[in-house]
Structure 1
């Protein structure tokens, strides 16, 4: 019986998350009726947040950027993840009529089995080995097209995950930060000879076996954005990564030698929509001018500090310096 679909394998040699996510959406938008695309890609030193997540609450992005990492936002929902070159990402892209999550997961499970690893789907969007997670999965659909993507931990630096991702107080109390390392596993811990290249080759074979067909097109993408520059511009933009954040409130408090300072912000689309600053400092005009200067700007450390620096010409430089030094230490 002849299959009513063709298989396409796409590999990215770029480690830029904005490029890889732009390429993923480009492939999604161009998917043909009878085409099943299997896309393999890697990001280096990256935190990727879900479509509706708040970067200020999910990760220490200033620390990440200080370490020359990148923050990215994907189309699908779910939680924040850390990617490095010890992790491989996969995406299945196709029209809804061909979409079959069970079959897609079988490609992954059969692929790692070829490397001597017995894995199973947990039913909670995770793939496990020996009861520990090595793959998280997320899903997206629009206008009759679907994609299913996920991570595959091969030899990832789990300590970086704990370093850059924030854990909520509730999660800290119920599980503890150390439990992150206890609940996830690298495939290399099971099979020390495994690497990204071997996993990629095994998945390529498994893809063809599960779908009982040969790959008809094999594309290597090396970082050229000419076909989808608008998508790359979107994924790399401040507006998409930060400005698409749902409305939220955030507060900062500190006690200084000259008085206390309680800053309360209402944010929409990553901008300061309203601000209230409470203080027992003697100079009440400084407090009001701080509110005026920060109102309406991007919630970005550099912009806030630039606005405060302008107040240096009018007010006590020591007080302004105290506030700047304090905010510099905050994860804004």
Structure 2
């Protein structure tokens, strides 16, 4: 087994590394990494329905889609992530339990009574500190999980806080749980780095054929290519969202506006705008302008700059209307 530690907080790079290891290493792998502030959404989720768009934008939080299913999770430098990339035939029917047991063993050695609960969670005193997800890809299994160690839990709450009335779709929804940090339950102070070391050393001791591995320059080049072509793109992170209907009402200086969008593969297919506003031109012209545009702030702004919004929505500020689209 190749045991690898990341030296970057770049979430796109770290998730691309998982896919690279799946596709390019014949050895089984264990990968530890920490991401900067980011939201990692499940493969089958509607990204916009999982995030607080305004908060994410204001705080420069990255939003990245992963290979595995399950719900959206918030990452920050107080959260440690672990991945097992194993040959499928070596995956026992125990599923999530098998690859979370080493984590529980380390916590037990620290005097923490952590448990596996439900389908894929690890908890302390009934509060969740780890969510886990998996996928089968190219004949291998990827199972990865989060470990809240000293995360900023209010940030987590705000970043994933979204108005459920905005979206109507069949995408997999995240289930919010009461959460806790591991550090709150330690009997003796321990740094995240020391905790990471304990897990890494424990994995090395568990697998007789394990060895520490450093990504080569060729590995890094291939991973960066994956970032450029997939994990760093709008198409992957937002455009692959399932079909959904978006609805939002906003108050403006020009009156109340209700916006309804039908979106497929991230592209607006149909727009309807209602309200008590005034305008000198037919609102259907504005609706048709938005159709065919990615449901993405910058591209919608560029499209709207080609018209005089005042002609359709009198006394409605440009930025106010754009905010109503998310």
Deviates more, 1:150-159 or 1:195-204: 195-204
In structure 2, C-alpha distance between the alignment counterparts of 1:188 and 1:91, rounded to whole Å: 21
In structure 2, C-alpha distance between the alignment counterparts of 1:89 and 1:222, rounded to whole Å: 23
In structure 1, C-alpha distance between the alignment counterparts of 2:184 and 2:325, rounded to whole Å: 33
State the shift of 1:65 in Å.
Answer: 2.9
State the shift of 1:118 in Å.
Answer: 2.5
SS in structure 2 opposite 1:226? helix
SS in structure 2 opposite 1:230? helix
Q: Does 1:162 align with 2:157?
A: yes
State the shift of 1:113 in Å.
Answer: 2.1
What is the TM-score normalised by the length of structure 2? Answer: 0.86
Deviates more, 1:119-128 or 1:284-293: 284-293
Q: Does 1:76 align with 2:77?
A: no
The answer to whether the 8 A contact 2:11-2:35 is kept is yes
Q: Does 1:145 align with 2:137?
A: no
Q: Does 1:327 align with 2:324?
A: no
In structure 1, C-alpha distance between the alignment counterparts of 2:10 and 2:315, rounded to whole Å: 37
State the shift of 1:243 in Å.
Answer: 0.3
Structure 1 equivalent of residue 122 of structure 2: 127
How do 1:100-111 residues align onto structure 2 when only pairs under 5 Å count? 100=92, 101=95, 102-111=97-106
How do 1:155-304 residues align onto structure 2 when only pairs under 5 Å count? 155-166=150-161, 183-191=178-186, 193-211=189-207, 213=208, 215-219=210-214, 225-233=220-228, 234-254=230-250, 256=252, 258-283=254-279, 285-304=281-300
| Two-structure CA RMSD over aligned residues (Å) | 2.7
In structure 2, C-alpha distance between the alignment counterparts of 1:38 and 1:90, rounded to whole Å: 7
**Deviations along 1:91-121, whole A, 9 cap, x unmatched?**
0001111224433222111122232223211
Which structure is larger by alpha-carbon Rg, 1 or 2?
A: 1
In structure 1, C-alpha distance between the alignment counterparts of 2:280 and 2:241, rounded to whole Å: 32
Given candidates 43, 51, 60, the residue that maps to 1:59 is: 51
In structure 2, runs of 5+ residues without a counterpart are 166-174
In structure 1, runs of 5+ residues without a counterpart are 1-6, 171-178
**CA 223–270 in structure 1, closer or farther in 2 if over 3 Å, else same:** farther
Structure 2 equivalent of residue 176 of structure 1: none
SS in structure 2 opposite 1:265? strand
Deviates more, 1:223-232 or 1:160-169: 223-232
The answer to whether the 8 A contact 1:57-1:166 is kept is no
The answer to whether the 8 A contact 1:155-1:186 is kept is yes
SS in structure 1 opposite 2:311? coil
List, as ranges, runs of 4+ consecutive aligned residues in structure 1 with deviation greater than 6 Å: 221-224
Aligned residues, how many? 312
**CA 331–64 in structure 1, closer or farther in 2 if over 3 Å, else same:** farther
